[in-house]
Amino acid sequence: MGMLGYDFMQRALIAAALIGLIAPLIGVFLVQRRLALLGDGMGHVALTGVGLAFLTGLAPVPTALVVAALGALVLELVRAKSRTAGDLALALVFYGGIAGGVMLTSLASGKASTALNQYLFGSLSTVATEDIAWLVGAGALVVIILLIFGREMFAMTLDPDVAHVQGIRTTRLGILLTVLAAVTVVIGMRTVGLLLVSAIMIVPVAAAQQFTGSFRATALVAVGLGLVCSLAGLTTSFTLDVPPGPTIVLLALAVFLVAAVTAYPVRRRRQRHPHPAEEHHHG
Amino acid sequence: MRLPLAIPVIAGSLALILSACGGSTPDGEGGSATSGTLRVVAGFYPLAYAAEQVGGDSVEVINLTPPGGEAHDLELSPQQVAEIGEADLVLYIPGFQPALDEAIAQVAPDRALNVTEALTLLPAEDHAHEGETSHEGEEPHADEHSTLDGDPHVWLNPLNMATIGDEIATRLTALNSSGAFAAGAQALTESMNALNEEWAQGTAECRSRDLVVSHEAFGYLAAQYDFAQIGIAGLSPDAEPSPARIAEVADLVRERGVTTIYYETLVDPSVAETLAAETGATTAILDPLEGLLEGSTGDYVTGMQANLAEVRAGQGCS
């Protein structure tokens, strides 16, 4: 029987396509803001949420969502208020998240900390119909927020100071963006796995940046690459009998490598003669 | 062989030294050698059960895996490492719980019993090579601290449990010759023989002999009662299953008319559920008994009887 003859593969393909489309849309902003590791970080903050759920008897996944969103809020406040660099703020929240998760879980009636895994880590192989509903919900949220605030968010990621002077509320916008990313990561890790969602946010963007100049072009190319890598990777994984998550990520990295190598001469020429048409006016 | 006699002396003096060092240990005074109660630390539930049955009141058994915890992923607290250091006997399966292997190498290399030593191991098969199961069980390595060269889930055959009980009795008798350990081992053997008989009769006539499980923990059980184990994931419950493997098992389930897919108590059921939804089969719980659930009042025997009921229903046994 062919790949499409199996219901679970149909669901896996839909989920792969959705994550391939949604994740790079968020990722292009994260890369611009130097928060490329946010996906992994928020995934680990979600551990604290599950630990808290064990301790209090709340439902694990919604608690993880709320705690990851709060973690994103703390991250933005640390960044904005204490003049801490983005990667440092991320590291603080990230490590706090892991330690909190393991500690809370061990306090909760002697559960092994690895009991966290089954609540948090999904796989494309086992996507359920309700998982697809969650992904569609996350995707709709991302698209709606980007349609409303995308232009301002672009201004903010490009230069927060200038954006601030132009009257854009950069702190609030930053919080919105990071919370959106956190929600996407938690839903993605639950349905398709943490490795896949956090990598597919970033790697296609890195590849697209190699040969695109504008933010908009990078975003569009990244989404295209994300979609193609997800579907091609899943198909490859089915053919070769290997797990889908790592296959997709390695394929995306291969695309990045090819893009970086082929675009290298182009970029070198650009760097030597930046914007030759403008040189007359300003030079 | 004079060596076994030296073990209690070494163990006793080590226990004294360690309890002397740890002044806060509640029962540090006296030490286990003089109080008459032997302290046995077991890596996870079935080993603890065997030790309790053999030792009765003459042993204090500590199970390192908490209820509801996954035995494979054991992490040891400093207190637990201290308990291992103070134990008279540590029961383990090499490679099954890496944290315990390390602790034994550090604090109790001479007091550990690899319970698989007297057993014939089944090969640890890779799920990709289903059907090539004809090779003979391999002997375990002499090196106690290396990983196990075979499938570690030995306790799911009751007769293996009886053998493990005998091994434990031999070691406990060497530590304290006045204990009634041989009688305890005899009682365990009898109850395990009865359980084996119950399983053998209960599964003699079944509609399907293909046992589809989410992870391959049931090799010894399948071999003992003439089932073919078909695992979706391999021996480790954490591995991400490949879509091709799920498709392969789904085809097999349809082809052979399997109606029940078993998943485990402590592991995420999503793989079994995916396969069940794919094929129209139902899911049922088969407990690998690596640990008891929180608040469980049962024991190894009732757990195996519950498994028997599930298998009889799922495989259509008459």
In percent, the amount of chain A with pLDDT more than 90 equals 41
- State whether residue B5 sits within 8 Å of chain A by CB: no
Mutation for B interface: A7, A113, A126, A189, most B CBs within 10 A: A126
- Whether residue A182 contacts residue A69, with contact meaning beta carbons closer than 8 Å, is answered with yes
Residues of chain A with Cβ-Cβ distance to B273 below 8 Å are 126, 128
Contacts of A244 in chain B (CB under 8 A): 240, 242-243
Query: What type of residue is A85?
Result: A
**Under a CB-based contact definition with an 8 Å cutoff, are residues A236 and A251 in contact?**
yes
Per CB-CB distance under 8 Å, the chain A contacts of B247 are 1, 3, 6, 9, 238
ipTM, two decimals, is 0.73
* C-alpha neighbours within 13 Å on the C-beta side of residue B74: 29
- How far is Cα B59 from Cα B32, in angstroms, rounded to an integer? 10
Joined tokens for residue B114: 């690899």
Q: Do B74 and A126 touch (CB under 8 A)?
A: no
Kindly state the helix (H) or strand (E) to which residue B59 belongs, with its residue range.
strand B59-63
Are A191 and A43 in contact by the 8 Å Cβ rule? The answer is no
Nearest-neighbour CA in chain B from A143: distance (Å): 29
Phi-psi region of B206 (alpha: psi -120 to 50; beta: other; left: phi over 0): beta
CB contact under 8 A, A6 and B250: yes
Nearest CA in chain A to B77: A106
Reply yes or no on whether the pLDDT at B20 is more than 60: no
Tokens of A134: 């969650």
pLDDT at B35: 56
Of the candidate ranges A154-168, A207-221, B68-82, B136-150, the one whose mean pLDDT is the lowest: B136-150
**Position of tokens 């603890």?**
B48
Beta bridge partners of B89: B40
User: pLDDT at residue A282 above 60?
Assistant: no
Whether the Cβ atoms of residue B71 and residue B65 lie closer than 8 Å to each other: yes
Interface contact flag, A243 B240, Cβ < 8 Å: yes
User: Sheet harboring B228-233: ordered strands across?
Assistant: B228-233, B210-215, B260-263, B282-285
Condensed to tens digits (0 to 9), the pLDDT of residues B236-245 reads 555 667 888 8
Contact B294 A109 (CB under 8 A): yes
**Would the pTM count as exceeding 0.90?**
no
Question: B240 and A125 in contact by Cβ < 8 A?
Answer: yes
Name which of A115, A125, A240 is nearest B69 (Cβ-Cβ). Answer: A115
B72 and B96 Cβ atoms separated by less than 8 Å: yes
Strand partners, A137: none
What pLDDT does residue A128 have? 86
| Reported CATH class of domain B205-314 | alpha beta
Contacts 24+ apart (CB under 8 A), B279-283: B279/B250, B279/B253, B279/B254, B281/B212, B281/B253, B282/B314
Among candidates A1, A193, A242 on the partner chain, residue whose Cβ is nearest the Cβ of B242? A242
pLDDT tens, residue by residue, A214-240:
999 999 999 999 999 999 999 999 999
Higher pLDDT, B77 or B280: B280
Whether the predicted pLDDT of B5 surpasses 60: no
Among the partner residues B245, B266, B277, nearest to A7 by beta-carbon distance: B277
Work out the pLDDT band at A279, boundaries 50, 70, 90: very low
Give the closest-approach CA distance of B300 to chain A in angstroms.
21
Predicted local distance difference test score (pLDDT) of residue B197: 97
Q: Give the model confidence (pLDDT) of B68-87 as tens digits.
A: 777 877 878 888 999 999 99
CB A280 within 8 A of CB A48: no
pLDDT tens column, A261-277: 998 877 777 666 655 44
> Residue B62 has what DSSP assignment?
E
Report d(CA A199, CA A247) in Å as an integer. Answer: 12
- For B184-232, the pLDDT digits (tens) are 999 999 999 999 999 999 999 999 999 999 888 899 999 999 999 998 8
Give me the sign of the Cα torsion angle B39, B44, B50, B52. positive
- Kindly report the backbone phi and psi dihedral angles of residue B210, in degrees, each rounded to the nearest multiple of 5, phi listed first: -95, 120
What confidence score (pLDDT) does residue A274 get? 54
Q: Which of A1, A7, A8 should we substitute to test contact with B (largest number of B Cβ atoms within 10 Å)?
A: A8
> Are the C-beta atoms of residues B179 and B45 closer than 8 Å to each other?
no
- Please name the member of A112, A113, A125 whose beta carbon is closest to the beta carbon of B274: A125
CB < 8 Å to A7, chain B:
277-278
Tell me how close the Cα of A163 comes to any Cα of chain B, in angstroms.
44
Q: What is the pLDDT of residue A258?
A: 95
Of B68, B242, B273, the CB nearest to A237: B242
Out of B65, B74, B242, whose CB is closest to A125? B242
Q: How far apart are alpha carbons B28 and B84 in whole angstroms?
A: 14
Q: Which pLDDT score, from 0 to 100, does residue B127 have?
A: 41
Q: Is the pLDDT of residue A117 over 70?
A: no
Give CA separation, B215 vs A104, A139, A164, A241, B278, in Å.
Answer: 28, 33, 55, 17, 18
Chain A residues with beta carbon closer than 8 angstroms to that of B73: 112-114
Chain B residues touching residue A239 (CB < 8 angstroms): 244
B40 pLDDT above the threshold of 70: yes
pLDDT of amino acid A111: 54
For residues B297-315, average pLDDT = 94
**In terms of CATH, what superfamily is B3-26+35-198?**
Nitrogenase molybdenum iron protein domain (3.40.50.1980)
Strand-pairing partners, residue B283, are B261
The encoded tokens of residue A159 equal 């230069």
Cα–Cα distance between B122 and B140 in angstroms, integer?
10
Does A112 contact B238 at a Cβ distance shorter than 8 Å? no
Distance from CA of A160 to the nearest CA of B (A): 41
Helix (H) or strand (E) holding B41: strand B38-42
Interatomic CA distance for residues A162 and A56, integer angstroms = 45
pLDDT surpasses 70 at A39? yes
Over chain A, what HEC string results?
A: CCHHHCHHHHHHHHHHHHHHHHHHHHHHHHHHCCCCCHHHHHHHHHHHHHHHHHHHCCCHHHHHHHHHHHHHHHHHHHHHHCCCCHHHHHHHHHHHHHHHHHHHHHHCCCCCCCHHHHHHCCCHHHCCHHHHHHHHHHHHHHHHHHHHHHHHHHHHHHCHHHHHHCCCCHHHHHHHHHHHHHHHHHHHHHHCCHHHHHHHHHHHHHHHHCCCCCHHHHHHHHHHHHHHHHHHHHHHHHHHCCCHHHHHHHHHHHHHHHHHHHHHHHHHHHHHCCCCCCHHHHC
Amino acid A70: pLDDT? 93
Q: Which residues of B touch A127 (CB under 8 A)?
A: 274
- Distances B237 to A26, B259, B264, B265, B270 between C-alpha atoms, Å: 33, 22, 9, 11, 12
pLDDT in tens, A69-80: 999 999 888 887
Per the CB < 8 A criterion, the answer to whether A59 and A53 are in contact is: yes
Task: Identify the residue among B270, B279, B283, B292 best suited for mutation to test binding to A, counting A beta carbons within 10 A and taking the highest.
Answer: B270
pLDDT mean across residues, chain A: 86
Give the Cα separation of A121 and A111 in Å (integer): 17
Q: For A6, which of B242, B268, B278 is closest by C-beta distance?
A: B278
Contacts of B244 in chain A (CB under 8 A): 237-242
Q: For A3-263, which CATH superfamily applies?
A: ABC transporter involved in vitamin B12 uptake, BtuC (1.10.3470.10)
CA distance A130 to A68: 21
Helices and strands per DSSP (H, E), number in chain B = 11, 8
Nearest to A112 among B70, B128, B251 (CB): B70
**Stretch A245-271: mean pLDDT, rounded?**
87
Nearest CA in chain A to B237: A118
**Which of A8, A109, A244 comes nearest B274 by C-beta?**
A8
Domain boundaries, chain B: 3-26+35-198, 205-314
**pLDDT beyond 90 at A142:** yes
